[in-house]
Structure 1
Amino acid sequence: MSDKPKVAVLGSGSWATAIVKMLCENLNEVGWYIRKQSTVDYIKENHHNPNYLSSAEFKMEQLNISSNINEIVNYADILIFAVPSAFVKAEFDKITESLSSKIVFSAIKGIIPESGLIVGEHFNQKLNIPFENIGVITGPCHAEEVAMERLSYLTIACRDMDKATVVSNCIKSRYIKTKISDDIIGTEYAAMLKNIYAIAAGVAHGLGYGDNFQSVLMSNSIREMKRFIKKVHKMKRNINNSAYLGDLLVTGYSTFSRNRMFGNMIGKGYTVKSAQMEMSMIAEGYYAAKSAYVLNEKNKANTPIIDAVYQILYQNKNPKKVFVKLTEKLD
């Protein structure tokens, strides 16, 4: 593979926009698929995304931007998917171009609702893309801080370390530091699970729990994450690395975290539907909570925090009563 491959991002949200900005630091041209033609037209005229990270300015000569997904798939050697997990199947159903020679990276931190799989497993099992051609881009990294060019760290995971290195080199810059990993399954599960724990942190805050409890909740969350991931994909990993613990902490504590914001609203008394309607962005942890709970019915890891979030979001249990019980299970 060329050291300067053709790379394209699929998605128009804040994280997709941030990844395009990162790539533009290193590549002469970046492909960008955006579903709405009106958004494409706006970016071409005004040089920034009208809906997300509007402070990030783009040079149009660097962008191959289109609302035709097949045009962008045909253009690129490496495809980076950054659409909400709930919309992945609908976007893939539009693709008629062959993916057999493509390298596909997921920047999606969630579960595909239709299959109940993390994105990498969905690519492999449902689309027959070999694991050697699948990768994951994971945090800790908030799109808003990328837009402000604040120092951030990313982990690029792929079974083929050469491909991970190529993508890493395309993304790193003076404000983005990268490391590579071969734990594609573990890092992606961690990226999915931390959204559930961030919802729990938000619920706790909304209910009036303080910093002391939040620290205990996060400490228990990383241990619960370790137990869960070990059940689904056993291999040697350091759960305290930034792709696991770091991503959990920033999502659980940051004011930029949409999952924490969603949980905070639930803790303050919003219904799930009213909280979703008030937020302009999707809280991936909502979908992840159900998928993780269902998967763990088979794997039987000890997951009291996931169970508590599931009970609140899907069984309409009272958050205050659920958290009173949860506090007795933490240490």
Structure 2
Amino acid sequence: VSKRNQLKKIAVLGAGSWGGTIAEHLAQQGHNVTVWHRNEEELKQMSEKRTHPFLDDLQFSHSIRFVESMNDLKQPELVVLGIPSHGVRDVMNSLPNLLQDSVYVNLAKGIENDSLKRMSEIVMECGGIDGKNVVTLSGPSHAEEVAKGLPTTLVAGSSDPEIASMVQQVFSSNTLRIYINSDIIGVELGGSVKNVIALAAGVCDGIGFGDNTKAALITRGIVEITRLGISIGGKAETFAGLSGIGDLIATCLSRHSRNRYVGEQIGRGRSLEEILDEMTMVAEGVKTSSSVKVLSEKKSVEMPICDAVYESLYEGLDPKEAVNRLMTREL
């Protein structure tokens, strides 16, 4: 099928670094893109100067419309959610009714704190959206690199093969390749929990440990993610793929990763409050860490690395002591 027949009307909600990058990527594929963004000052900059507040490499095409009100979104065929995970419920609750029949493509990675729900579950619950119309796009994809057009792969997690394939066609280009996976539970869980492991990887950088430590952390980390994922209905093989080990590798090794950065600062002995106060962007793993703690206890899944991260963030455990405990756990 030619690309021409598949041009879509797309609304992107939230133009942070990833939402903004995806909006421009879709506009370059010829789609009709409208962007809604909550912060008015940032919206104004994007609309008038066509530049992005956080990403120097991102310049917006003139075809993109920026709107202040969600009521100005004219019946899009696709709605892309580019907001942080803790904002998804709010945004879904305030959507106008005209967005009921759209297909939702979620980019947020996280598990909601109180409900322990994945993002697609919140979209279905709050928007009254049919499950087959919700797709989560996840994988090793730092916005900074996608904005530069560096080759990147993602996974479209969806229970409906036809809708997954439509999303695959809409988003794919010569720099962005989309794979399909019917296990949306595994895709979402991998993308969320890897941020907690990335915090641990950062702690190791901050303390000054080496490649051996990080390789162990990534490998034992994916074991924890897989255990938890299987316990809630995900498939083991998903975690060996791009949205599992792939995303984990990128986030643990990258200088772009906000989660790794937060961990690094903690490893250097700074307090969480102090670090978060000076950051403009969201490190999802900080909130996800407490969800993972509750979920793993509920499912009786052993997750020593994630537990150590939780205690280092919230219970004042010294990061070096946390590592010592991991190394000297009962053999």
CA contact (8 A) 1:216 1:330 kept: no
Residue type of the partner of 2:118? I
Give how far 1:99 is off: 4.1
Structure 2 match to 1:226: 226
Equivalent in the alignment of 2:55: 53
CA contact (8 A) 1:217 1:330 kept: no
Residue of structure 1 in register with 2:146 after alignment: 146
**CA drift at 1:316:** 1.8
Q: Distance in 2 between matches of 1:116 and 1:298?
A: 10
Pairwise CA distance, 1:76: 1.1
Mapped contact 1:197–1:306 kept (Cα < 8 A): yes
Match among 7, 11, 15 for residue 12 of structure 1: 15
Residues of 2 paired with 1:156 and 1:323: CA distance? 35
1:9 is paired with a residue whose SS is strand
Root mean square deviation, CA, Å: 1.8
Query: Which is worse superposed, 96-105 or 192-201?
Result: 96-105
Q: What is the deviation of 1:121?
A: 1.6
Amino acid at match of 1:40: L
TM-score computed with the length of structure 2 as normaliser: 0.93
1:238 CA displacement: 4.2
Gaps of 5+ in 2: none
Query: For each residue in 1:80-136, what CA deviation from the matched residue of structure 2 results, as whole angstroms up to 9, or x when unmatched?
Result: 101111222332333232543121111001123353211012222344322101110
Could you tell me which amino acid in structure 1 is paired with residue 153 of structure 2?
Answer: Y
Matched with 2:180 is 180
Q: CA deviation at 1:149?
A: 0.9
Q: 1:330 to 1:160 in 2, by over 3 A?
A: farther
Question: 8 Å contact 2:194–2:248 — kept in the other structure?
Answer: yes
In structure 1, the gaps of 5 or more residues are none
Give the partner amino acid of 2:136: V
3-state SS of 1:311 partner: helix
**8 Å contact kept, 2:89–2:126:** no
Query: Which residue in 2 is equivalent to 1:44?
Result: 47
The count of aligned residue pairs is: 327
**Equivalent pairs: percent with the same residue?**
30
Q: Which moved more, 1:277-286 or 1:82-91?
A: 82-91
1:128-178 deviation per Cα after TM superposition (whole angstroms, max 9, x unaligned): 322101110101111000111111111111111111111112211111111
CA distance in 2, matches of 1:264, 1:251: 13
Q: Does the CA contact (< 8 Å) of 1:193 and 1:225 recur in 2?
A: yes
Report if the CA contact (8 A) 1:105-1:134 is conserved: yes
Please report how far the alpha carbon of residue 199 of structure 1 lies from its aligned counterpart in structure 2 after TM superposition: 0.2
Q: How does 1:233-272 map to 2 (within 5 A)?
A: 233-235=233-235, 237-272=237-272
| SS of equivalent residue, structure 1 residue 180 | strand
Q: CA deviation at 1:330?
A: 9.7
Shift of 1:183: 1.1
Distance, in Å, in 2 between the alignment partners of 1:98 and 1:56 is 30
**Which region of structure 1 is more displaced relative to structure 2, 225-234 or 21-30?**
21-30
User: Aligned to 2:281, what secondary structure does the other structure show?
Assistant: coil
Instruction: Give 1:329 shift.
Output: 4.1
Matching residue of 1:63:
64
Give distance in 1, aligned partners of 2:60 and 2:323.
45
Deviation at 1:326, TM superposition (A): 1.1
- SS where residue 65 of structure 1 aligns? strand
Runs (4 or more) in structure 1 with deviation over 6 Å come to none
Please, which of 16, 25, 28 is the counterpart of residue 28 of structure 2? 25
Q: Spell out, residue by residue over 1:163-218, the C-alpha distance to the aligned partner (whole angstroms, 9 max, x if none).
A: 11111122111111111111111100000000000000001111121111111111
Q: Counterparts of 1:109-188 in structure 2 under 5 Å?
A: 109-188=109-188
Tell whether the 8 Å contact from 2:113 to 2:290 is kept in structure 1 after alignment: no
**Cα distance between partner residues in 1 of 2:77 and 2:180:** 19
Q: Cα 1:66–1:207, aligned 2, differ >3 Å: closer, same or farther?
A: same
Asked if the contact 2:202/2:267 (under 8 Å) is kept, the reply is: yes
Partner SS, residue 75 of structure 1: coil
The letter for the 2-side match of 1:327 is M
Q: Which amino acid in 2 is paired with 1:135?
A: V
Q: Which amino acid aligns with 2:21?
A: A
1: distance between equivalents of 2:82 and 2:300? 31
Indicate the larger mover: 289-298 or 74-83: 74-83
- Within 2, Cα distance between the matches of 1:329 and 1:217? 15
Corresponding residue number in structure 2 for 1:307: 307
